[in-house]
Amino acid sequence: MYCSHLSLSLLIFWLSFQALNINVEILRLMKNIISIINSSYNPASQISPCLGSQLSTAESAYDKAGASRSVLKSCFMALRTLLLVLLMLLPSCAGARVLAKDYMTLVKKTSDASIDYIMKKAEHYLNAGHSDTALVYYMVACNRMNDKLSDKDKQQCAMAYLKKGNILYMKGNYAGALSAYFSGLRINNDCKAKHETGRFYNNIANVYCVFGDYVKGLSYYKKGYEFCHKYGDKANAYKILANMTKVNIIKGNTSSARKYYKMSEKVKNPTDKENCYMGIFNFGLILMAEKNYPEAINTYNELLNYAVKNKMGPRYICSAYRELYNNYMSLGNRDSTLKYLRLCESTAVKHGILHVYLDVLVKYADFYDSVSNYKAASRYRARYQHEKDSIFDTNKFDAVKNEQTLYEMDKYDKYIASLNAREKERLQTISRQRLTIAGVTVVTAVIGVLLLLVYRQKGKIDKSYNDLFVINRDFVKQQEFTRQRMLELNNRLKSSEAELAALRASQEHSDGAGEAPDTAVATTADDADGKNKTLAISEDMRRKLLDAVIDVMENSTEFCSSDFSLARLATLVGSNSKYVSLVINDTFHKTFKNYVNDYRIRLACLRMADTGTYGSYTLNAIAESVGFKSYTTFVELFRKVVGITPSMYKDKLKASV
């Protein structure tokens, strides 16, 4: 009754803390307490490690307990089952929520961490026994994988998948483990260094062998061994060869098993205790498969001594005991069989190696069947069924807990993937923005440089235009001054010629009478002078015609008429068009049209400078006033003659005032 009250109190205790959001550690503590309740009325826990008659005593006590003990035990079983069912509801408990919150915080904290840092944290938690936390770190590292990573980071991601698969494998999620191994293998194959490839193939083969697909498992073991041999990875090569030895023993192919055993011994590390233990163990399995039980017994005695001498764990010792009682049972040696059954039982119970303990109970039943003690065999089978149910409940609890953990891990994996997707999108957005900013900056810089060049060029052009303006302005002024001087000189020349002609006429009149005898000579001289005079008159006529043309162009504005032509100029100078054109071409080396347009452009410059008279005139009006019918023609000719446009010339004039 006391124990029943204790179980009920524990149930109330758990429900109270459920309302107060207890954490996972308290839930684990309750699981341990349930185990204690189980062991309080567990017959296996009462078995002494000593050998002999204590076993029968325990059986006798069991028989005398009667119906009251059966009822009490049933009550404990019911309470234990109720607690287990409640504990299985982890998704709704506050501890799971706290755990999820912690893991979510962990994921957020590692969003900016390097892959190397994440892997170190994962290894730290894995070595400390916190496989769930380590799994979250490995998932974060796995989701960092992308083609832009360095070869070193890709290798780290591949190893993260390998470690993730190992944890899932230990939790019984073989499909998830296989998926992780294949993902890591694909990444590893893209890396330059492929020395870890053998580990992936070994673990993949292990999963296939769990499901009984030994053919495919062996094919992957062989691939893994090829890579290990290629890169000199003896440690993993030994593991693969040891696994291939076991698989061939299971398949009954002892010749292949011996072959791979010999190969494994060549790469075995003699300083590695586990390697040495596994080598002896596998050799014993080969001997058993060949039904060489005496040699197998010697081998497993050697294995037992090696495990004890090197202070290896109880699991190693139990494995040696198991193989010893199996071999003795095959030989029919009852005393030795019972001896090693009891040794194995006591070790398994003491250290909680449940699967070995169950095997011992089955072997006890088989042993008592072989000696025709069916009552004892029946009791051991009942104990086996009872313990199997108890262990099954615990395993079921662990399976549900693992299922919930895997469910949470899957949520974290998806959350990590979404974070990475958002981060990738953010980086792409930043990259696009940077490219846009860089493009705008480059365009702005180019435009700035072009504007600077244009500004400098404009400055040079403005300076050139100013120089042209000054030169043209000074030239126009000088030309006007020269024209005035030539006009004065021309007038003085005409006056001098008139005086000279009068003097010449007066002298000829006074000398006419005294020179009669020389008439012939004079006549001859006059004839010669007459010929020269004819040539002189011809040259004189050319000069007079040129003077007449210049006089019309310089002293009149006839050329300002839009209808002014060569014929009109010839009429004004009293000659014909042919002579006038000839004189202009020979003297100025210009056509009549260009000769007249030069005068018009020069006059336009003078009128633009004469702001008093023509200040209100537009450029078009000035162009018409000097004889241009088209303003476009005026602009083109002005720019050709002066070097700048009329508007610029006018602006320069205003600026120079």
More reliable by pLDDT, 517 or 378: 378
As given in the structure block, the two tokens for residue 580 are 């006038």
CB-based contact 287:302 (threshold 8 Å): no
The answer on pLDDT for 494 being more than 80 is: no
CA 541 distance to own-chain centroid: 95
Over range 180-191, report the average pLDDT: 92
- 164/158 Cα distance (integer angstroms): 10
Over range 154-174, report the average pLDDT: 90
Highest mean pLDDT, choosing among 49-53, 101-105, 484-488, 646-650: 646-650
What's the one-letter identity of residue 43? P
The answer on pLDDT for 240 being more than 60 is: yes
Taking phi over 0 as left and psi of -120 to 50 as alpha, with beta for the rest, 252 belongs to: left
What's the one-letter identity of residue 296? A
Whole-number pLDDT of residue 483:
62
Taking phi over 0 as left and psi of -120 to 50 as alpha, with beta for the rest, 227 belongs to: alpha
- 376/89 Cα distance (integer angstroms): 40
CB-based contact 245:226 (threshold 8 Å): no
Whole-number pLDDT of residue 147:
84
The answer on pLDDT for 470 being more than 90 is: no
Whole-number pLDDT of residue 96:
41
Over range 160-168, report the average pLDDT: 93
Residue 204 binned pLDDT confidence (cut-offs 50, 70, 90)? very high
Residue 543 binned pLDDT confidence (cut-offs 50, 70, 90)? confident
As given in the structure block, the two tokens for residue 556 are 């009149």
Interval 285-327: pLDDT, tens = 999 999 999 999 999 999 999 999 999 999 999 999 999 999 9
- 301/44 Cα distance (integer angstroms): 26
Exposure of 581 by Cβ count < 10 A (0-12 exposed, 13-18 middle, 19+ buried)? middle
Whole-number pLDDT of residue 56:
31
- % of residues, the chain, pLDDT over 90: 36
Residue 619 binned pLDDT confidence (cut-offs 50, 70, 90)? very high
Whole-number pLDDT of residue 555:
86
Among the residue ranges 102-106, 138-142, 356-360, 444-448, the one predicted with the least confidence is: 102-106
- 381/167 Cα distance (integer angstroms): 34
Q: DSSP secondary structure string, 445-476?
A: HHHHHHHHHHHHHHHHHHHHHHHHHHHHHHHH
- 370/368 Cα distance (integer angstroms): 5
- 244/291 Cα distance (integer angstroms): 20
**Nearest partner of 605 among 561, 637, 629, judged by Cα:** 637
The answer on pLDDT for 15 being more than 50 is: no
Residue 216 binned pLDDT confidence (cut-offs 50, 70, 90)? very high
**Nearest partner of 238 among 219, 210, 266, 217, judged by Cα:** 266
**Nearest partner of 402 among 158, 128, 78, 174, judged by Cα:** 174
Whole-number pLDDT of residue 394:
52
**3-state DSSP helix/strand/coil % of the chain, to nearest 5:** 85, 0, 15
CB-based contact 135:164 (threshold 8 Å): yes
Q: What are phi and psi of 561, to 5 degrees?
A: -75, 135
The answer on pLDDT for 205 being more than 50 is: yes
Residues 6 or more apart whose Cβ sits within 8 Å of residue 106:
133, 136, 137
* Distance set, CA 546 to CA 543, 571, 579 (Å): 5, 14, 10
Average pLDDT, the chain: 77
Over range 544-555, report the average pLDDT: 87
The answer on pLDDT for 445 being more than 60 is: yes
The answer on pLDDT for 370 being more than 70 is: yes
- 610/547 Cα distance (integer angstroms): 28
Whole-number pLDDT of residue 98:
38
Residues 6 or more apart whose Cβ sits within 8 Å of residue 44:
349, 357, 383, 387
- 526/539 Cα distance (integer angstroms): 19
Domain positions in the chain: 194-268
* Distance set, CA 134 to CA 29, 153, 166, 196, 317 (Å): 22, 18, 11, 20, 30
Over range 152-163, report the average pLDDT: 92
Residues 6 or more apart whose Cβ sits within 8 Å of residue 486:
550, 554
CB-based contact 205:193 (threshold 8 Å): no
Q: Is the dihedral of CA 184, 185, 190, 191 positive or negative?
A: positive
3-class secondary structure, 47: coil
Over range 8-15, report the average pLDDT: 45
Whole-number pLDDT of residue 393:
52
Residues 6 or more apart whose Cβ sits within 8 Å of residue 241:
225, 260, 261, 263, 264, 267
State the DSSP code for 112.
T
Whole-number pLDDT of residue 611:
85
Interval 59-87: pLDDT, tens = 333 333 443 444 454 455 545 545 544 54
Among the residue ranges 299-313, 465-479, 545-559, the one predicted with the least confidence is: 465-479
As given in the structure block, the two tokens for residue 294 are 């005496």
As given in the structure block, the two tokens for residue 325 are 């009682």
Q: Which fold has domain 194-268?
A: 1.25.40
The number of residues making up the chain comes to: 657
Exposure of 231 by Cβ count < 10 A (0-12 exposed, 13-18 middle, 19+ buried)? middle
* Distance set, CA 144 to CA 104, 150, 154, 504 (Å): 16, 12, 9, 122
The answer on pLDDT for 212 being more than 80 is: yes
CB-based contact 296:304 (threshold 8 Å): no
- 166/179 Cα distance (integer angstroms): 11
